[in-house]
Amino acid sequence: PESFLSVRDLKVQFSTEDGIVKAVDGLSFDVERGKTLGIVGESGSGKSVTNLTILGLHNPRTTTVDGEIVLDGKELVTATEKELEKLRGNNMAMIFQDPLTALSPYYTVGRQLSEPFMKHNGASKKEAKDRAVQMLEKVGIPQPEMRFDDYPHQFSGGMRQRAMIAMALMCDPDLLIADEPTTALDVTVQAQILDLLKDLQQEFGTAIIFITHDLGVISNMADDLLVMYAGRAVERGSVRDVLRSPMHPYSWGLLSSMPRLDGNIHEELTPIPGTPPSLLNPPSGCPFHPRCAFKDEVEGSRCTDERPSLAEGRAAACHLTAEQKQTIFIDQIQPR
């Protein structure tokens, strides 16, 4: 399978008054064209930072980025701001939880959709308006021609969310990053928007990175799943494999509320005991060891001394043996 987005050994560090924060610490993953990668993890696990870094929206004065981000053959870590801006207009787009972070209250919805399109695609005002109206229609805004000159506050919450998605889709992005895009919406609108994203993915072959705390949404939307902890990937696999038989103690905690059968589930990820690690001063060895109930199963002091690596493909970064991972999951974790 062709990797459309390839992230290799990504490290993102912020300098703060208290020292260096290792927000992302050696992260690698791939997204195929037309596929969806779900990312789960507690807040502070590095999900949002990773995505802002891919888009080049981090603050270059306080942030150091190392490693590789290759989108369709283009290296983004070393790209100039100008190149990134062009990519953001033509190739990649983002939708957020709160549409007001993307939509300005000062301009009409129509203007906010059409102006970037004119700028990046050299379209005329008329072409840009036609496209904007078409996109508003696609996302299910009734009478889009009439709503074109409305301001965001004249839209309901669900409509603003749709307008933001329309804005993200104006340029037919090859990569769409969705960070908790439907959390604030009621279940019906949420379902409509998720269906819409799937349709658009089918139509345009968009690769999607989807961040959410909702396991129902993940199992419905994602092809592959990445579990992040302390700025690292701790488990990876197809969404089906990871949800059915997770292999990492952190995933066991996080996913333990997962009902065994799919369907119309909207279960939140379970908060797990203990606090997320300080990224100013990360734990030695396995970053999960201060909270892990299984570290005594591993020989010696490997959990506190040695950082577990994540193998390629279906894998979990944990010193337990493959057999232990399976036995513990079946005997102690899996609900009966």
Least separation in angstroms between residue 300's CB and ligand SF4 is 11
CB 37 → Mg ion: shortest distance, Å? 15
CB 86 within 8 A of CB 31: no
CA-wise closest residue to 31 among 120, 92, 79, 98: 92
Residue 264: Cβ-neighbour burial (10 angstroms; 0-12, 13-18, 19+): exposed
Give buried/exposed letters for 33-65 (b at 16+ CB in 10 A, else e).
ebbbbbbbbbebbbbbbbbbbbbbebeeeebeb
* Residues from 225 through 254 that contact ligand SF4 (CB under 6 A): 249
Query: How many angstroms separate the CA atoms of 172 and 301, rounded?
Result: 51
The single residue among 36, 48, 51, 219 that binds Mg ion, judged by CB under 5 A, is 48
Binding segment (CB under 5 A) for Mg ion, from list 45-53, 86-94, 125-133, 197-205:
45-53
- 160 touches, from ligand SF4, Mg ion, none (C-beta below 5 to 8 Å by class): none
Please choose, out of 23-31, 43-51, 228-236, 266-274, the segment that lies near Mg ion by the rule CB under 5 A. 43-51
In the complex with ligand SF4, which residue's Cβ is closer, 237 or 249? 249
Least distance between ligand SF4 and beta carbon 97 (Å): 29
Strand partners, 71: 5, 74
Which of Mg ion, ligand SF4, none has residue 319 at its interface (CB below 5 to 8 Å by kind)?
Answer: ligand SF4
CA distance 181 to 161: 8
Least separation, in Å, of the C-beta of 317 and ligand SF4? 7
* Smallest gap from residue 39 Cβ to ligand SF4 (A): 19
Task: From residue 22, give the alpha-carbon distance in Å to each of 50, 63, 157.
Answer: 12, 10, 35
**Binding of residue 289 to ligand SF4 (CB under 6 A):** yes
CB contact set of 165 (below 8 Å; sequence gap of 6+): 95, 139, 181, 193, 196, 197
Nearer to ligand SF4, 210 or 294 (CB): 294
DSSP reduced 3-state for 297: helix
Nearer to ligand SF4, 162 or 236 (CB): 236
Beta bridge pairs of residue 13: 22, 64
Select the binding partner of residue 320 from Mg ion, ligand SF4, none (C-beta < 5 to 8 A, by kind). Answer: ligand SF4
Q: Which is nearer to Mg ion, 116 or 181 (CB)?
A: 181
**Binding stretches for ligand SF4 (CB under 6 A):** 249, 286, 288-289, 292, 294-295, 298, 303, 308, 318-320
**Binding stretches for Mg ion (CB under 5 A):** 48
